Amino acid sequence: MLLDASQSQLVLVDYQARLMPAIFEADAAAANAVRLGRTARLLDVPVWGTEQNPSRLGENLPDIRALCQRTLAKMHFSGMEEGLGEWLRPPAKAPQGNARSLPKHLQKPTATQEERNTIVIAGCEAHVCLLQTALDLLEDDFEVWVVTDACSSRTERNRDAAFDRLAGAGAELVTAEMVGFEWLRTAEHPAFKEFQSLIR
């Protein structure tokens, strides 16, 4: 199964200024997160961010924060515990109208927002906030794709243990380039050249 840009959303977890200096291979993880975010923006894939306890750990790195439509400040390690799921799958709107409204068969159908149930996710720390958010997403019936080269933890061992657990739980493990090429599908895509410049 390949990723489909029209069905995808991107979640960037906790690339925070005061956390990143302690993260294993932080520069590479952050650079790949920026590539992911820029690719998503090129292809109209919604991009969301989370920040763990930002009053203590600071905001996400500016390049990453600028790519996100909204950023969720949270205290729970899982963003799903604090409303991320409502951003990813907004609740259906209640019917509008009053007693004088047109009968249902004469009303224009309301446009329904197409669900995007594929969540591409990356972030820090992989074994804490990323892991717990991804496991909650799986439990909430989202398809979860974890971008391994845009994730990290303070130690390599913790990062790798998170990948093992996520794969066992049903998440797909991918890289930033895999995501981009699957979202594009063809070298004839209008955004292909711009994408190439992002990965060189």
HSE-up of residue 150 (Cα within 13 Å, Cβ side): 30
Residue 38 in this model has a pLDDT that exceeds 50: yes
Q: How far apart are CA 136 and CA 191, in angstroms?
A: 33
Q: Which residue has the higher pLDDT, 113 or 32?
A: 32
Quick one: what percent of the chain has pLDDT higher than 70?
89
Residue 199 in this model has a pLDDT that exceeds 90: no
Residue 15 in this model has a pLDDT that exceeds 50: yes
Task: Work out the angle at residue 133's Cα, subtended by the Cα atoms of residues 37 and 125, and round it to the nearest 5 degrees.
Answer: 70
Q: Which domains are seen in the chain, by residue range? A: 5-89+115-199 (3.40.50.850)
CB 121 within 8 A of CB 146: yes
Q: Among 143, 195, 198, which Cα is nearest to 173's?
A: 143
Q: Among 7, 74, 93, which Cα is nearest to 46's?
A: 7
Neighbours of 108 (CB within 10 A): 6
User: pLDDT for 88-133, tens place per residue?
Assistant: 998 776 555 555 565 655 555 554 457 899 999 999 999 999 999 9
Positive or negative, the CA dihedral 126, 118, 142, 86 is positive
Q: Can you give the pLDDT at residue 197?
A: 86
Looking at every residue in the chain, the average pLDDT score rounds to: 92
Q: How far apart are CA 188 and CA 103, in angstroms?
A: 48
Q: How far apart are CA 200 and CA 196, in angstroms?
A: 6
Give the pTM. 0.89
Q: Can you give the pLDDT at residue 89?
A: 94
Q: How far apart are CA 120 and CA 139, in angstroms?
A: 15
Q: Among 11, 43, 33, which Cα is nearest to 142's?
A: 11
Q: How far apart are CA 89 and CA 198, in angstroms?
A: 29
- In the chain, count H helices and then E strands: 8, 6
CB 183 within 8 A of CB 168: no
Residue 101 amino acid letter: S
CB 179 within 8 A of CB 27: no
Virtual torsion, Cα 3, 36, 160, 144, nearest 10 deg: -30
Name the band, by pLDDT with cuts 50, 70 and 90, for residue 8.
very high
8-state DSSP, 48: E
Among the ranges given (23-27, 110-114, 150-154, 169-173), the one the predictor scored with the smallest mean pLDDT: 110-114
